[in-house]
Amino acid sequence: MASTSSSRYAKHRRIGEDEELEETEEEEEAEEELERFDDFTIASSWERFISEIEAICRQWLADGAKILMQKGAEGVPPFENLYMIKRELKHGKRVYSMEYHFMKSAKGQNSYWDDDTHSMQLSFGVDEFLIIAPLSASGVILDDPESTKLLSSVAIALSNCGSNWPAFVPVHDPSRKAYIGIQNLGTVFTRRFEADRIGSQVPIRLMHLEGLHELFLSKFVLSSTDFPARVKVHFSMKLSYRTPEYDHDNETLDSEATEPLTENEVANHPRKLWDDDCPWAEWYSAEDPVKGFELIAIWGERTFEETLVMAEVENASSFDADSWFLQPVVSQYMVDDSIGKFVGFASQLHLLVNAYESSAEAQFLEDFVADTSGQDNSKSTATVPPPSVIDRVMKDLFSDGTGNYMEAENKYSRAMRGAPADSLFGQFCLHALWFGNCNIRAIAVLWIDFVREIRWCWEESERLPRMKSTSSIDLSSCLIHQKLQMLTICIERKKSLNREKGAGYKDETSNSTAVNKSRKGSAGVVPKMMLLNTFQEMHAPYTQDAPLMTEDMHEERLHAAEAFGNAIGLSGQLERDILCSDMSAFKAANPDAVFEDFIRWHSPGDWVSEDKTDGNAGWPPKGKLSQRMSEHGNVWRKIWNDAPPLPVSEQKSLLDPVREGEKVLHYLETLRPQQLLEQMVCTAFKSSADILNKTMYGGFKEMKTKMDQLYATMASTLKSLQGNSDVNDLAGDLKRLCQVFEHIEKLLILSASIHRKLIDAPRLAQAIFYDYFNFYLPKMGTSLESICYEKEFTTKEKVGMYERDAVSNLFPPPTANQSWRKVLSMGNLLNGHEPMQREIIFSVQERISNGHYSGPTPLCTNDEQIQTHRMYISGTSNDLWVALSVTSWD
């Protein structure tokens, strides 16, 4: 019992002691809260400034990356993984901006050489960081004391809230990129940062890896005598090369020429441009969208113990680098929508669409050419090139073209209804795109002169240039091209008639009473058919082909047939001429034939047979003409009676070349402006696309898909232009089509440039284009509004080992003219070219159990290593930027 009661007493005593202990702890917490109370009535402005920084940092620390992004943290372009949130603070008369940079996801240990690394992360080896600087246009800090005081304020605030964020303050002019910084690593270690820049001639010693290695060692060794025999220094390097610019000024035709060309020789040997052999070069010279390439050569981390090894690395070939990455330097005009920035087919097509909008202002083209001085409208303000320019265009158009133009093999061509690019009208449309500023007045002047030249060819029986010698008309093309095809045929027939007349040819077609009983023009016996009166075999004659007709002629014939066909069986004079020709040929092949024989062969439906169906038909066959052929005054019988027996070889052609030729010229001379511009728009779009489609671009899959989409879009849009179209309704669609055309034209030129520069590395060329295609894709909307697109293309493609030779060819050895500037080389040359930038990271790691960093601490184990010193170096022969971080044990 005694022990039990003693135990119970002890238990109650412990409970009481615990209660007293809890009360004591509560009192101490209350005292601490009172101690932490900020009495701003007696605090200095500096203390209040620190407290404000601390409050902001505590809030950011408590929120974390996810919540800060929800609260409006902004991405830091062009980095995909880096975000930034900032606040403004006031201290005295100065206003400061404090920025906290953080990452959405953790960064890999060896990822500092990738494109998603901020300069502060790369320089100091940190992931997240604070920067505080004056809020001014330049962010200048006036003196070192202010920088130190500002950094101390941030360090105290971060220490109070338990944060280990590294903090940086710019020193002096930020253009020097000079910083000081500090980072608290728990309660044991502190990392301090400093960085500065040499913005003028770099000392020779620091242009070489040996000197830079010694500079790093000097940061933790008091003197050269204290250099340890072997210090394990971790080393990594990144070299950036830029392909040399093409030296146009010093280009000569003969690479061995030593004497400069005279002025006359220069004029006779124009400078060769990059796209001289591209399909569009006949019409314009495109700015090369690929200004060059940047090659990144990376040496992965390795360890060196001697300074002399640095000389070997400096003299090593760039082919020894662990990785190569290639990035094209793309011209800004690729993403710039400003008017006049890009000049190509798309820009000129846009002007042509504007002219199409103006075409409804007048009924005749001459109205646009007439003197309209004093009138304030588009006709009076539009400029027209001088007559000398017009003469040059006409001379080019009507030069002795081959006429062997190629029809575009595209399933959408028929829907677009344009003329082939190499045809006469196709060339007219292409010339019009680049004639003056392609306004309606200039087009009217050019068209009138164009038709005048065509009439001259007609009157002089000269062949039309750029037109095929053909016996058919392409009804899938535009009507103007059909008319020019018809005129080409008429000129050939007209010349043939003139030659026959000159040779004394006698026209026997007028002698309708001439009778010749000999058979002529037979194509063979008609099976199972005999002549009614003579029981002779019936012969099928050779007949003339149907006369050539353009689309509008077919429509006229159809309308005539609808109006008169049921009444007389013939729709007009053309049908009468065809029937008379067939009857004459039938009579020549069958001299003893009668009208009923012709009907049985030509129109079996008009012969009503009365023979028995048992197959034992007698002779002559029993039957009669149909009712319409039996009527009194039947036109067919009258034509039969008048038709002379003439084979095709002796007949007059159904096509009257003189009459049809004059009809074509009348059409061209009286064409309404809107009708002309509609056909010009269709032909210009189709011809421009066909020219671009001849480009050699390596068969990039994405480019081929876009070209197919362009043709489909054009076919859908241009289809609305056929017939009576409303100009106002179609103008917007056509302008959107121009925008689509421009995007694809830019990409096509880019693909051609990449393909020819990397023709020996097709996989790499395809990969680089694919990267840029995906980068550019958001830009390719169909809206007329410009899309804001300020992002810079920075994607790099890894170069395979087997592709390095092809890439190195982008860096030809410097010529004598290019190497006149003697400079001190940094080494690491690639085909004689030094890197435009060299970046190095030196670092030293030490176990905590060794030397200065050893000591009893519950936060670290004796086997743990820390990076005691780290130096990032970036520079050229004229610029050097050094950033150092040192970890100390407090």
Same domain, 758 and 728: yes
Distance CA(195)–CA(172), nearest Å, equals 12
| Residue 487 lies inside a defined structural domain of this protein | yes
pLDDT score, position 823: 54
Same domain, 327 and 349: no
Same domain, 207 and 304: yes
Three-state DSSP class for residue 103: strand
Cα 344 from chain centroid? 12
pLDDT score, position 708: 94
- Are the CB atoms for 434 and 284 separated by under 8 Å? yes
Of the candidate ranges 68-82, 605-619, 729-743, the one whose mean pLDDT is the lowest: 605-619
Distance CA(867)–CA(869), nearest Å, equals 6
Residue 107's pLDDT band (cuts 50, 70, 90): low
Three-state DSSP class for residue 522: strand
The strand pairing partners of 290, in sequence order, are 330
| Residue 465 lies inside a defined structural domain of this protein | yes
Where does a domain end: 779, 812, 827? 779
| Residue 6 lies inside a defined structural domain of this protein | no
pLDDT score, position 506: 47
724 burial level (CB within 10 Å; 0-12, 13-18, 19+):
exposed
Sign of CA dihedral 118, 120, 123, 128: negative
Task: Assess whether pLDDT exceeds 60 at residue 195.
Answer: yes
Distance CA(677)–CA(355), nearest Å, equals 8
Residue 228's pLDDT band (cuts 50, 70, 90): low
Cα 45 from chain centroid? 58
Task: Assess whether pLDDT exceeds 90 at residue 189.
Answer: no
| Residue 22 lies inside a defined structural domain of this protein | no
Same domain, 708 and 812: no
Structure tokens at 230: 């072997």
Distance CA(580)–CA(571), nearest Å, equals 14
Give residue-wise pLDDT tens across range 479-533.
999 999 999 999 998 888 777 666 654 444 444 344 446 899 899 999 988 898 8
Percent of the chain with pLDDT over 70: 76
Mean pLDDT of 567-583: 73
Task: Assess whether pLDDT exceeds 80 at residue 552.
Answer: yes
Mean pLDDT of 375-398: 78
The strand pairing partners of 525, in sequence order, are 539
pLDDT score, position 511: 42
Residue found by looking up tokens 């040779």 in the block: 503
pLDDT score, position 250: 44
CB atoms within 10 A of CB 336: 12
Of the candidate ranges 195-199, 225-229, 279-283, 829-833, the one whose mean pLDDT is the lowest: 225-229
Structure tokens at 510: 């007028």
Where does a domain end: 734, 752, 779? 779
| Residue 591 lies inside a defined structural domain of this protein | yes
- Are the CB atoms for 124 and 166 separated by under 8 Å? yes
Same domain, 583 and 703: no
Sign of CA dihedral 702, 703, 709, 712: negative
Task: Assess whether pLDDT exceeds 60 at residue 216.
Answer: yes
Most confident of 20-29, 110-119, 292-301: 292-301
Comparing 512 with 445, which gets the higher pLDDT? 445
Percent of the chain with pLDDT over 90: 39
Same domain, 549 and 467: no
Most confident of 89-98, 226-235, 412-421, 472-481: 472-481
Write a three-state SS string for 213-263: HHHHHCCCCCCHHHCCCCCCEEEEEEEEEECCCCCCCCCCCCCCCCCCCCH
pLDDT score, position 173: 57
Comparing 38 with 148, which gets the higher pLDDT? 148
Same domain, 825 and 702: no
pLDDT score, position 248: 43
Residue 184's pLDDT band (cuts 50, 70, 90): confident
| Residue 508 lies inside a defined structural domain of this protein | no
pLDDT score, position 684: 96
pLDDT score, position 509: 41
Where does a domain end: 726, 753, 779? 779
CA distances from 514 to 147, 519, 588, 643, 771 (A): 120, 14, 11, 11, 82
pLDDT score, position 818: 58
Same domain, 214 and 321: yes
Of the candidate ranges 114-128, 400-414, 632-646, the one whose mean pLDDT is the lowest: 400-414
| Residue 616 lies inside a defined structural domain of this protein | no
| Residue 18 lies inside a defined structural domain of this protein | no
pLDDT score, position 560: 66
Distance CA(360)–CA(728), nearest Å, equals 10
How many structural domains does the chain have? 4
Same domain, 640 and 692: no
pLDDT score, position 26: 54
Distance CA(342)–CA(358), nearest Å, equals 24
- Closest-CA residue to 339 (of 348, 327, 329, 331): 348
Most confident of 217-221, 293-297, 785-789: 293-297
pLDDT score, position 198: 79
Structure tokens at 866: 């820390």
Distance CA(474)–CA(494), nearest Å, equals 21
Residue 567's pLDDT band (cuts 50, 70, 90): very low
Residues composing the chain? 890
- Are the CB atoms for 868 and 886 separated by under 8 Å? yes
Same domain, 75 and 171: yes
pLDDT score, position 341: 77
Distance CA(194)–CA(181), nearest Å, equals 6
Distance CA(485)–CA(474), nearest Å, equals 8
Of the candidate ranges 252-261, 332-341, 606-615, 690-699, the one whose mean pLDDT is the lowest: 252-261
**DSSP one-letter string for 399-459:** S-----PPPP--TTHHHHT---TTSHHHHHHHHHHTSTT--HHHHHHHHHHHHHHHHHHHH
Of the candidate ranges 180-184, 412-416, 458-462, 472-476, the one whose mean pLDDT is the lowest: 412-416
Residue 785's pLDDT band (cuts 50, 70, 90): low
Give residue-wise pLDDT tens across range 309-357.
888 888 888 999 999 999 999 988 887 766 567 889 999 999 999 999 9
**Beta strands, E only, 257-352:** 290-304, 323-330
Residues 6+ apart with CB under 8 A from 643: 512, 580, 583, 584, 587
Same domain, 292 and 227: yes
Mean pLDDT of the residues in the chain: 80
- Closest-CA residue to 790 (of 779, 801, 806, 805): 779
pLDDT score, position 338: 65
Residue 820's pLDDT band (cuts 50, 70, 90): very low
Cα 238 from chain centroid? 31
Of the candidate ranges 277-286, 653-662, 816-825, 864-873, the one whose mean pLDDT is the lowest: 816-825
Residue-range definition of the domain harbouring residue 163: 43-199
User: At 484, which helix (H) or strand (E)?
Assistant: helix 479-502
Task: Assess whether pLDDT exceeds 80 at residue 451.
Answer: yes
Comparing 338 with 252, which gets the higher pLDDT? 338
Give residue-wise pLDDT tens across range 724-760.
667 877 888 999 999 999 999 999 999 999 999 999 9
Same domain, 670 and 640: no
Task: Assess whether pLDDT exceeds 80 at residue 572.
Answer: no
Task: Assess whether pLDDT exceeds 60 at residue 718.
Answer: yes
Give residue-wise pLDDT tens across range 652-703.
888 889 999 999 999 999 999 999 999 999 999 999 999 999 999 998 999 9
Give residue-wise pLDDT tens across range 686-697.
999 999 999 999
Structure tokens at 487: 């005129």
Task: Assess whether pLDDT exceeds 60 at residue 866.
Answer: yes
